[in-house]
A and B are shown apart, each in its own frame.
Chain A
Amino acid sequence: MSPSVPLQEMIRAIRSARTQCEERGVIQRECAAIRAQFRQADNGGRSHNLAKLLYVHMLGYPAHFGQMECVRMIASPRYSEKRVGYLGAMMLLDEKQDASLLITNSIKNDLSHSNQYVQSLALCTLACMGSAEMCRDLAPEIDRLLRASNSYIKKKAALCAVHIVRKVHELGELFVPAARSLLSEKNHGVLHGAVVLIIELCEQNPETLERFRKTVPDLVQIMKGLVLSGYSPEHDVAGISDPFLQVRILRLLRILGRNNEGASDSMNDLLAQVATNTDSTKTVGNAVLYETVLTVLDIKSESGLRVLAVNILGRFLLNNDRNIRYIAMTSLQKIVGTDHNAVQRHRGTIVDCLKDQDASVKRRALELSLALVSASNIRSMMKELLLFLSSCPPELRAHAASGIFNAAERYAPSQRWHIDTMLHVLITAGGDVRDETVPNLIQLITNASELHCYTVHKLYRALLLDISQQSLVQVACWCIGEYGDLLLKGDCQETEPVQVTEDDALDALETVLQSHMSSPATRGFALTATMKLSTRITDNVDRIRSIVSIYGSCIDVELQQRAVEYNALFRKYDHMRAAVLERMPVIEKNSPGHTNGESTGEAVKDVPTAKMKQGEPLLLQQPANQVCDLLDLLGGSEETLQPGPAVDCLVSGLSVHAAGTAGGDLLDLLGGFEPAELSPAPQVLAYDKGGVTLTLSCEKQSDTGLTVTLTASNSSDSDLSSFTLQAAVPKSVQLHMKAPSGDSLPARGTAKVTQMVVLNNPNKVNLKMRVRVSYTRQGSPFQDTVQIDSFPGLDAAGQ
């Protein structure tokens, strides 16, 4: 075909422009000429003009003034003009432009043109940019063409119908019969179009999908024909017969077989055949295999077929072509939840892909590896993941670090391993971890009491090597401050002994304080740690005093405040310094889902003493699946008195004993109470032994709040002293013991002791209470416990 000379001359002129400015000049001139030509009467060069404009448009210059010319050209009787006109319409017009409506008529006429190439133009344009209105208008015509025309037109009409159905869903019904009958065509183009149309109809309407299920045998037949047929020159691509059609049919089979046993069964054999017979040495064969695998995994296939599919993915992982490796990873990722064991079999290959050159493959391998970590492979997997972390691309480090932390938390075989792993991550990638890593690690360390010595030595050594990783430095400072005494002691079973003097430790902290690499938060950690050491060292307290006083005039307000407060602690409150800076209790874990291999069950979680005041309720934050043995709670957990208002009774302690083996019962407290009665609350005798009686009465304060009053009386002949009551309730109930009226119960009931207990039962569980009575009688201590299951004012079930 002869080239368009005017067009090519213009293109040459534009390309020879040396600067952007020059190009703009050329284009402006050309556009002016084009505009002028548009205004003229019909001449032989109209199509060339429009083509020029379309080229200019592709360079990014405005071309909307050509829209009407497109409309005119489409209406022209000349094929060359129609061709360019329709092309222009597809490039310059879309359904949002008013001008697009104007071509509806032309399209309508051209759809029934005697020449199939003109029809083709109309069909192509309609399928490209037809608006909903145009679609409604022309749908019947398309349907007609679907039934009665040659293959060339039918295949285009089918895709036109697809577009119509996408635009106007209700018109789907119109095309169902034609779509069905097209499946019996032999022409591959028409078949392909028919399959695409059926896919669209099924995806839009579940009822239509049901009806098309009957076509599964036909589709299976067609596929069989393609897979088993000999060489067909017309459709062959590297030994595969029409891979495009095969892939589309597999997609339709997937849609029809999904959630349907019958359909899935009838395609089982075919899928197995395609999976085993398709040549996988070229990409095109692998494309068909890939679609087959996706189909097998999505329908209700039998297990043997599923295993076959996963094995194909496993083979893909070993393919030289990184595209194939990549899609294998993405597919495995999708099924790692549902077919976990099958994917686990390929873990080795997946882990090898962590070393792949391609960044996308690496990323996928990381995701998949993290998903495959389990309790049985945690040690070996973590080795690989840590190796990966030390050399992985920077954009993956944060994700890798947090994935490693999650895996470690879930499957750590021992506390020491867990701490070692977290330290390793901080040393390797401390800059990329999330903020909550520092408190998480500290909490982990406090919980591993046998490892404090080991941990602080390890962190001290890490600090000496590198003080640039802020999270690591913060944890190290905290540990040195907290466990400095263990650090200085020198002997530690788990690591080689190293002599650390007080000056060494203080040197390390001071280096952090003074380094420009330390963030303000880090310096805060270091200062507090230095202060804490004042109660853990003996010789160098003066040095600490001077450090602290220097920072009293530090420009950083936070540091200054701390230093001033610590100074005050030295000067005015020195008597309290030891208590304030003493070893902290174990921090409560409040994240569920732990399977710590070493959970000994004796992790007594005391509320930090600093927070405990007399009578303060202790909120229990246990996860629901931990068993609480309330019986052992009250033993040995009495809290010490705080300096403050003088009290002469013991505080009721409620520490939670996470028993692994004690197997205490989970008490279910009663739910909602009866509305509070106006008459005085009835008294119930709860305990009567050795002359000591305990009665209780309840008063409902609110929907969940209740006040229980315990009244004790002594009818025996001897006075009782140090009389105390302690109470325990199920974990979701909050308890607050008010100050008792006194602690002596004189004989013969001459005086009583009353104790008010305020309860809050937000979860409305079954309310039960265990009360421990303790007193001294004639010099000997006595203790007893009683369980209260029913409360006056509540019904038998406690509601």
Chain B
Amino acid sequence: MTHSMRFLLLFSRQGKLRLQKWFTPMSEREKKKIIRDMTTMVLARQPRSCNFLHWKDLKVIYKRYASLYFCLAIENQENELIALEVIHRYVELLDKYFGNVCELDIIFNFEKAYFILDEFLIGGEIQETSKQMVNRSIEASDMLQETMEEYMSKPAF
């Protein structure tokens, strides 16, 4: 059983995890090991290396944006260059939502980062290729949340 993407990790330059999305079932122990391996491998890379690594039977695509490393593991036969575009698209989506997104935004609003990701990818595949569509869906969901909260907090007679 193969997914195009196996997992997506975001971590800081000190190796602190900011987001983890797993596209195949894995035990807690396995996840922890992978996180350790990824952070070690990626943080050890020279500044002007290429963005692709080999790890076990996967290709690991990583890119640094400011103080955050985005680390996406894909199947061996997948296209590395488009994977870089996937990472970039996610960063653009975050940037549009938070306005000049920085690491702190993702720390303090981590659940939003997940909601945005879940409008872009599902089950390790791209679900929507249009930036605007994703943004609209997020906005609409947020509106729904507020509306329902307001509705629910109104006293019932």
Q: Which residues of A contact B (CB under 8 A)?
A: 1-4, 7-8, 11, 15, 44, 51, 54-55, 58-60, 78-80, 83-84, 87, 94-96, 115, 117, 120, 123-124, 127-129, 152, 155-156, 159-160, 162-163, 166-167, 188-189, 192-193, 196, 234-235, 237, 242-245, 247-248, 251, 283-284, 286-288, 290-291, 294, 322-327, 357-361
* B149 CB to nearest chain A CB (Å): 6
Do B79 and A3 touch across chains, with their CB atoms under 8 A apart? no
Tell me the bound Cα distance from A1 to B148 in angstroms. 12
Q: Does B140 contact A (CB under 8 A)?
A: yes
Knowing A95-B25, A155-B127, A287-B81 are in contact, say whether A79-B122 is a contact too (CB < 8 A): no
Q: Does B156 contact A (CB under 8 A)?
A: no
Tell me the bound Cα distance from A79 to B146 in angstroms. 9
Interface code B14-32, partner A: CB below 8 Å = 1, 0 otherwise? 0001111001011100001
Q: Does B133 contact A (CB under 8 A)?
A: yes
Do B108 and A11 touch across chains, with their CB atoms under 8 A apart? yes
Q: Which A residues lie within 8 Å of B148 (CB)?
A: 78-80
Tell me the bound Cα distance from A237 to B93 in angstroms. 14
Tell me the bound Cα distance from A156 to B132 in angstroms. 17
Q: Which B residues lie within 8 Å of A54 (CB)?
A: 110-111
A/B pair count, beta carbons within 8 Å: 165
**Chain A at the B interface: SS class:** helix
Tell me the bound Cα distance from A196 to B78 in angstroms. 13
Interface pairs (5), CB distance under 8 Å:
A1-B145, A2-B146, A117-B137, A124-B118, A360-B49
Do B140 and A117 touch across chains, with their CB atoms under 8 A apart? yes
Q: Does B57 contact A (CB under 8 A)?
A: no
Do B50 and A361 touch across chains, with their CB atoms under 8 A apart? yes
Interface code B114-136, partner A: CB below 8 Å = 1, 0 otherwise? 11001000110111111011000
Contact of B126 among A59, A128, A192, A358 (CB under 8 A): A192
Q: Which B residues lie within 8 Å of A79 (CB)?
A: 144-145, 148
Do A162 and B111 touch across chains, with their CB atoms under 8 A apart? no
Q: Does B141 contact A (CB under 8 A)?
A: yes
Q: Which residues of B contact A (CB under 8 A)?
A: 1-4, 17-20, 23, 25-27, 32, 46, 48-53, 79-82, 84-86, 107-112, 114-115, 118, 122-123, 125-130, 132-133, 137, 140-142, 144-146, 148-149, 152-153
Q: Which B residues lie within 8 Å of A4 (CB)?
A: 111
* A161 CB to nearest chain B CB (Å): 10
Do A323 and B85 touch across chains, with their CB atoms under 8 A apart? no
Q: Which A residues lie within 8 Å of B19 (CB)?
A: 58
Contact of B142 among A1, A189, A242, A286 (CB under 8 A): A1
* A41 CB to nearest chain B CB (Å): 15
Q: Which B residues lie within 8 Å of A55 (CB)?
A: 110
Tell me the bound Cα distance from A291 to B79 in angstroms. 7
A-B interface, 8 closest residue pairs, ranked by CB to CB distance from nearest: A287-B81, A127-B123, A1-B142, A189-B128, A159-B122, A287-B82, A322-B50, A244-B129
Contact of A294 among B79, B109, B153 (CB under 8 A): B79
Q: Which B residues lie within 8 Å of A288 (CB)?
A: 82
Tell me the bound Cα distance from A646 to B150 in angstroms. 115
Knowing A3-B109, A167-B1, A189-B127 are in contact, say whether A243-B52 is a contact too (CB < 8 A): no
Knowing A58-B110, A80-B148, A243-B85 are in contact, say whether A193-B127 is a contact too (CB < 8 A): yes
Tell me the bound Cα distance from A436 to B146 in angstroms. 74
Tell me the bound Cα distance from A219 to B111 in angstroms. 38
Tell me the bound Cα distance from A361 to B48 in angstroms. 12
Q: Which B residues lie within 8 Å of A124 (CB)?
A: 118, 122
* B1 CB to nearest chain A CB (Å): 5
- The closest CB in chain B to the CB of A241 belongs to B129
Extra contacts, 6 of them, besides A196-B4, A287-B84, A361-B50 (Cβ < 8 A), are: A3-B109, A80-B148, A128-B122, A234-B132, A242-B130, A291-B79
- The closest CB in chain A to the CB of B92 belongs to A237
Knowing A60-B17, A358-B50 are in contact, say whether A242-B144 is a contact too (CB < 8 A): no
Do B80 and A327 touch across chains, with their CB atoms under 8 A apart? yes
Tell me the bound Cα distance from A247 to B85 in angstroms. 11
- The closest CB in chain B to the CB of A8 belongs to B108
Contact of A156 among B85, B122, B130 (CB under 8 A): B122
Q: Which A residues lie within 8 Å of B142 (CB)?
A: 1
Q: Which A residues lie within 8 Å of B112 (CB)?
A: 1
Q: Which A residues lie within 8 Å of B125 (CB)?
A: 159, 162, 193, 196
* A330 CB to nearest chain B CB (Å): 9
Q: Which A residues lie within 8 Å of B52 (CB)?
A: 323, 326-327, 360
- The closest CB in chain A to the CB of B2 belongs to A166
Tell me the bound Cα distance from A156 to B121 in angstroms. 9
Contact of A83 among B26, B81, B141 (CB under 8 A): B141
Do A243 and B110 touch across chains, with their CB atoms under 8 A apart? no
Interface centre among A1, A188, A196, A248 (most CB of B within 10 A): A1
Interface centre among A95, A245, A322 (most CB of B within 10 A): A322
- The closest CB in chain B to the CB of A238 belongs to B85
Tell me the bound Cα distance from A360 to B109 in angstroms. 37
Q: Which B residues lie within 8 Å of A128 (CB)?
A: 23, 122-123
Tell me the bound Cα distance from A59 to B111 in angstroms. 14
Tell me the bound Cα distance from A698 to B140 in angstroms. 98
Tell me the bound Cα distance from A123 to B86 in angstroms. 21
Do B127 and A237 touch across chains, with their CB atoms under 8 A apart? no
Do A129 and B25 touch across chains, with their CB atoms under 8 A apart? yes
- The closest CB in chain B to the CB of A323 belongs to B50
Contact of B145 among A80, A96, A244 (CB under 8 A): A80
Do B130 and A188 touch across chains, with their CB atoms under 8 A apart? yes
Do B123 and A160 touch across chains, with their CB atoms under 8 A apart? yes
Knowing A127-B122, A287-B81 are in contact, say whether A84-B129 is a contact too (CB < 8 A): no
Do B84 and A283 touch across chains, with their CB atoms under 8 A apart? yes
* B13 CB to nearest chain A CB (Å): 16
Tell me the bound Cα distance from A283 to B83 in angstroms. 11
Q: Which B residues lie within 8 Å of A193 (CB)?
A: 125, 127
Interface centre among A78, A244, A322, A326 (most CB of B within 10 A): A244
* A191 CB to nearest chain B CB (Å): 9
* B86 CB to nearest chain A CB (Å): 8
* B18 CB to nearest chain A CB (Å): 8
- The closest CB in chain A to the CB of B25 belongs to A94
Q: Which B residues lie within 8 Å of A152 (CB)?
A: 137
Q: Which B residues lie within 8 Å of A127 (CB)?
A: 122-123
Tell me the bound Cα distance from A234 to B128 in angstroms. 11
Q: Which A residues lie within 8 Å of B145 (CB)?
A: 1, 79-80, 83
* A162 CB to nearest chain B CB (Å): 6
Tell me the bound Cα distance from A162 to B122 in angstroms. 10
Knowing A59-B17, A60-B32, A87-B111 are in contact, say whether A237-B85 is a contact too (CB < 8 A): yes
Do B127 and A192 touch across chains, with their CB atoms under 8 A apart? yes
Do A117 and B123 touch across chains, with their CB atoms under 8 A apart? no
Tell me the bound Cα distance from A476 to B142 in angstroms. 78
Tell me the bound Cα distance from A759 to B141 in angstroms. 89
Knowing A167-B1, A358-B49, A358-B50 are in contact, say whether A327-B81 is a contact too (CB < 8 A): yes
* A270 CB to nearest chain B CB (Å): 18
Q: Which B residues lie within 8 Å of A235 (CB)?
A: 129-130
Do B25 and A326 touch across chains, with their CB atoms under 8 A apart? no
Do A323 and B123 touch across chains, with their CB atoms under 8 A apart? no
Do A284 and B122 touch across chains, with their CB atoms under 8 A apart? no
- The closest CB in chain A to the CB of B111 belongs to A51
Do B123 and A287 touch across chains, with their CB atoms under 8 A apart? no
Tell me the bound Cα distance from A159 to B20 in angstroms. 20
Q: Which B residues lie within 8 Å of A245 (CB)?
A: 129
* A335 CB to nearest chain B CB (Å): 15
Q: Which B residues lie within 8 Å of A60 (CB)?
A: 17, 32
Q: Which A residues lie within 8 Å of B85 (CB)?
A: 237, 243-244, 283-284, 287
Tell me the bound Cα distance from A244 to B4 in angstroms. 13
- The closest CB in chain B to the CB of A158 belongs to B127
- The closest CB in chain A to the CB of B16 belongs to A59
- The closest CB in chain B to the CB of A203 belongs to B2
Q: Which B residues lie within 8 Å of A360 (CB)?
A: 49-50, 52-53
Do B137 and A123 touch across chains, with their CB atoms under 8 A apart? no
* A160 CB to nearest chain B CB (Å): 7
Do B51 and A84 touch across chains, with their CB atoms under 8 A apart? no
Do B49 and A359 touch across chains, with their CB atoms under 8 A apart? yes
